[in-house]
Structure 1
Amino acid sequence: MKRVRLEFVSFVLVAPTLLFAQADFSTSLHGTRQGKATWYGRNNGGFEQLTDIPMSSLPCQKCHAQNFADGTPVDPATYSPDCKDCHAVVGDKPSQEICLGCHSRQGAEITLSASNPLYTDVHRDAGMVCTDCHTKREMHGDGTSYASMLESGAMDVACDNQDCHPVASLPSNPEHDRHLADVYCSACHVQTVSTCFNCHFETEVATDQKRFYGPPPTGGFTLLLRRQGSDKVTSGVYMAMAYQGKTFFALSPFGGHTVTREGRTCQDCHNTQLVQTYTQTGEIQVTKWDATESKIHFTQGVIPVPPDWRDALRFDFVNYTGDVTDPVKPFDPTKWTFLKSGADTTQILYAQPLTADQMAKLAMDVVSVEDQEPQIPKRFALVQNYPNPFNPGTTIEFRLPKATSVTLKIFNVLGQEVATIYAGKRLNAGVHRVRVKGDDLPTGVYLYRLQTPEFTQTRKMTVLR
């Protein structure tokens, strides 16, 4: 009897979890594949503007691996997203190979890392796999139909999550002290992003195969742009396409799985040849056709996205002259010829270009801070929280010129205390950062106050739900 009872209790505990996951799956991004339609759609400035082919006429939204997780071949004619895409048995934990069956760009990063150090990753080196960072809610959904994985709230993964690299745990150094409030980790620690260049859409339409220029992926670069909703600088990527002589490129935030422990140097971003050229000519050449060698050259390194990006970013496009039924592999450079310079249509989603002020700062000839010792603040200060407004979390930063007793509290606009972070805690001199989760705070304006025997300062912050 005891054994039966224990098994029953186990079922009662596990079954609701599975049921909830299945109930939300239909609205999850794995279930809807909506990300593709969002980017492609003409209403969002997508490539559909040039093709006039609706997403419903393309196979893209039902993209699938060759086999289900249990090894059974997928029949494209009857396929629809389902639990068996990832689970051989409902409730099992999929291996990373299952993820890479669809997420081929990440698979390419892993393959290339064996021969190209730009594609190495500290997380993979530590033995981590996809599910160490990406959550069940991301995979199974939460009942909300997100337009893209880049939409706010769609993803849980973040460098500064409490169980990863919380802001308060980061070392105080010149780079962090200067950039942490307005630059995401990826802008400095992602070595390269990856893209496929100049996708030949005629092949996609005719044969449901992806044909792009060059051996995939194109890498060795990262864009710098601002993440929409936070205004912090992040890494980004471009994707370029052509169809019937019409050309297009899109810009997006993107973080490659190519993270390095050591961040970029100042000179990797500031006063680079690209920035100097932009200052002098107003242009940044991203891809350039070499008529002598009959091939495209890709700009490497950090590529800033300026305010006038539509005109400033210069792309040369190529066209495939072979038959659309030709094998897409191996890459045959003799069948690609120059098409034209410039894009007929451009798109940017979930991001904004850098500001004129940020471009001016990138043009500054800075001195490397690599060998400088962390500086002790010269005065007490309570910094404006970031991001602000925020949902769900924010960071409060304060600076102490000497060791002292610290009280840090949060109040509502009525002056009622709603949270105590420190109460007379003795802290060393330096820059201190505290990650605050506002899960229990309703929408509204709040006050946070730093108090020491020598100093008191209060600032406002806003929670948005």
Structure 2
Amino acid sequence: MEGWEKVFVSDEEFVDTIHGEMGCIACHGGNGITDDKEQAHQNMRREPVAAEACDQCHTDTHTDANSLHSNLTGYLTAINARASNETYNTIMNEAFGNHCQSCHTSCGQCHVSRPTNTGAGLSAGHQFKKIPPMNLTCTGCHGSRIDKEYKGKNEGIPADIHWNQGGMPCFECHTAQEMHGDLGYQANHRYDGPPAPGCSNADCHADVSDDGTVEGHDKEHIGVLACQTCHVTEYKQCYSCHVQKSDEGRPFFQIEPSVMDVKIGYNPIQSEERPWKWVTLRHVPVDPDTFAYYGDNLLPEFDNAPTWVFATPHNTQLRGPQAQTCNNCHGNPDVFLTEKDLLPYEIKANQSVVVAPEDIPGPVTEPAAQPE
């Protein structure tokens, strides 16, 4: 995007809209009764605050402050689990603002402009998009994992069936209520509360019954396996993110090469809402020295939370490679998270999710092929 495109407000496409008729000051503040540029921009808000601008008219989105996109509570929960009270404050004082805060978004960064994290700039001449453009907003931020997995951009790995066959954009599953934090509770992380979206949602999969049974699936498996354990293919695992600043003071991060595979392990957030024993796990790129640039031992409680976490990869298949035959999973240690998959610094942190070799389900007799 050219520099002028990021700031150009199109008269033809914006001024005559309902937001355009309100004028700039209604949302951005400033002084509208002067011809002097400096005075006109005094007290101007580059980024309107939802509670002061959007919520005045859009009363149905007043829950925006509860959205994980707005408050970044998911990050705070993860850091708080591994830091002490003292080191948490140290991280919040500088490191979080330098490296994590840019993932915050707002009403405008979805509906008017590209998110700051992706370079900012108006999406379409300051037009307000009721449904944000998926490629500039959703996958603009969630690109290296979700976009590539969902659209089949990882070499040799197919796209998600919902995209490949259905062409489904993000908002077909991720509702406005979810994005706006209007779920009736304050989520502390992405998987807090009932699954939203969930595979058994009404009017989604017709072969899923109200009692949780699924046509063609036996009860022995359906009760202990999350859907993804059979229905995803290889997805990205990231390792060892370290944040720091350049000699010029610019924040940046370094990360080890990622790995593509499927790992099944014990459910770290097992509950009535997510009762499965076996789930797919994804490696998050934290390590004990992630924030070492800002001080020594800033994650002293590193072992309090696993680095292999509950995951719902966005590359759903009719059958993943681990489910092509029974024994692609049963008796196959390569698809289970075992201690040999762990780095030395994370062995203790992952004891709740790692599978001992003797606990891997053993080989079974394959069912006879059905005649065509």
Q: TM-score, normalised by structure 1?
A: 0.51
SS of 2:328's equivalent? helix
Q: CA 1:201 to 1:56, structure 2 compared with 1: closer, same or farther past 3 Å?
A: same
Tell me the equivalent position of 2:176: 136
Instruction: Tell me how far 1:47 sits from its aligned partner.
Output: 9.6
Instruction: Tell me how far 1:34 sits from its aligned partner.
Output: 0.7
Q: CA 1:228 to 1:238, structure 2 compared with 1: closer, same or farther past 3 Å?
A: same
Provide the C-alpha distance between the structure 2 equivalents of 1:50 and 1:367, rounded to a whole number of angstroms.
Answer: 53
Query: Does the 8 Å CA contact 1:270/1:366 hold for their aligned counterparts?
Result: yes
Residue type of the alignment partner of 1:140: H
Tell me the equivalent position of 2:50: none
Tell me the equivalent position of 1:241: 286
Provide the C-alpha distance between the structure 2 equivalents of 1:176 and 1:17, rounded to a whole number of angstroms.
Answer: 52
Tell me the equivalent position of 2:92: 55
Query: Does the 8 Å CA contact 2:70/2:104 hold for their aligned counterparts?
Result: no
Tell me the equivalent position of 2:275: 231
SS of 1:131's equivalent? helix
Provide the C-alpha distance between the structure 1 equivalents of 2:350 and 2:355, rounded to a whole number of angstroms.
Answer: 18
Q: Equivalent pairs: percent with the same residue?
A: 20
SS of 2:259's equivalent? strand
Tell me the equivalent position of 1:188: 230
Q: CA 1:74 to 1:191, structure 2 compared with 1: closer, same or farther past 3 Å?
A: closer
Tell me the equivalent position of 1:31: 70
Q: Does 1:92 align with 2:130?
A: yes
Q: CA 1:257 to 1:88, structure 2 compared with 1: closer, same or farther past 3 Å?
A: farther
Deviations 1:38-69 (A, max 9, x none): 1111xx2369998884234222134258x945
Provide the C-alpha distance between the structure 2 equivalents of 1:370 and 1:53, rounded to a whole number of angstroms.
Answer: 61
Q: Which has the higher contact order (CA 8 A, sep 6+)?
A: 2
Query: Does the 8 Å CA contact 2:330/2:363 hold for their aligned counterparts?
Result: yes
Tell me the equivalent position of 1:267: 327
Tell me the equivalent position of 1:40: 79
Q: CA 1:16 to 1:46, structure 2 compared with 1: closer, same or farther past 3 Å?
A: closer
SS of 2:335's equivalent? strand
SS of 2:66's equivalent? coil
Alignment of 1:12-411 (within 5 A): 19-41=58-80, 44-45=81-82, 53-57=90-94, 58-59=96-97, 60-63=100-103, 68-69=109-110, 70-71=112-113, 74=116, 89-90=127-128, 92-97=130-135, 98-104=137-143, 105-110=145-150, 113-114=152-153, 116-125=155-164, 126-142=166-182, 144-153=185-194, 156-166=196-206, 167-168=208-209, 172-173=215-216, 175-202=217-244, 207-214=250-257, 217-226=258-267, 227-229=269-271, 230-232=274-276, 233-242=278-287, 243=289, 244=292, 250-263=307-320, 264=323, 265-272=325-332, 274=333, 301-304=334-337, 312=339, 314-316=341-343, 341-343=344-346, 346=349, 353=353, 362-369=360-367, 371=369
Residue type of the alignment partner of 2:198: A
Instruction: Tell me how far 1:361 sits from its aligned partner.
Output: 5.9
Query: Does the 8 Å CA contact 1:193/1:222 hold for their aligned counterparts?
Result: no
Provide the C-alpha distance between the structure 2 equivalents of 1:87 and 1:195, rounded to a whole number of angstroms.
Answer: 38
Deviations 1:65-87 (A, max 9, x none): 8x9454478499xx9xxxx9999
- Structure whose residues are more often strand by fraction: 1
SS of 1:108's equivalent? helix
Cα RMSD for the two superposed structures: 4.2
Query: Does the 8 Å CA contact 1:193/1:255 hold for their aligned counterparts?
Result: no
Provide the C-alpha distance between the structure 2 equivalents of 1:32 and 1:87, rounded to a whole number of angstroms.
Answer: 27
Provide the C-alpha distance between the structure 2 equivalents of 1:72 and 1:189, rounded to a whole number of angstroms.
Answer: 32
SS of 1:210's equivalent? strand
Deviations 1:277-321 (A, max 9, x none): xxxxxxxxxxxxxxxxxxxxxxxx52236xxxxxx35534xxxxx
Query: Does the 8 Å CA contact 2:235/2:261 hold for their aligned counterparts?
Result: yes
Query: Does the 8 Å CA contact 2:55/2:61 hold for their aligned counterparts?
Result: no
Query: Does the 8 Å CA contact 1:34/1:148 hold for their aligned counterparts?
Result: yes
- Structure 2 residues not aligned, in runs of 5+: 1-17, 19-53
Provide the C-alpha distance between the structure 2 equivalents of 1:224 and 1:87, rounded to a whole number of angstroms.
Answer: 48
Provide the C-alpha distance between the structure 2 equivalents of 1:29 and 1:96, rounded to a whole number of angstroms.
Answer: 18
Provide the C-alpha distance between the structure 1 equivalents of 2:315 and 2:282, rounded to a whole number of angstroms.
Answer: 14
Q: CA 1:370 to 1:123, structure 2 compared with 1: closer, same or farther past 3 Å?
A: farther
Instruction: Tell me how far 1:17 sits from its aligned partner.
Output: 11
Provide the C-alpha distance between the structure 2 equivalents of 1:75 and 1:361, rounded to a whole number of angstroms.
Answer: 43
Tell me the equivalent position of 1:297: none
Q: CA 1:161 to 1:74, structure 2 compared with 1: closer, same or farther past 3 Å?
A: closer
Residue type of the alignment partner of 2:103: C
Q: CA 1:89 to 1:234, structure 2 compared with 1: closer, same or farther past 3 Å?
A: farther
- Structure 1 residues not aligned, in runs of 5+: 1-6, 8-14, 275-300, 306-311, 317-340, 374-465
Query: Does the 8 Å CA contact 1:193/1:254 hold for their aligned counterparts?
Result: no
Query: Does the 8 Å CA contact 1:223/1:304 hold for their aligned counterparts?
Result: yes
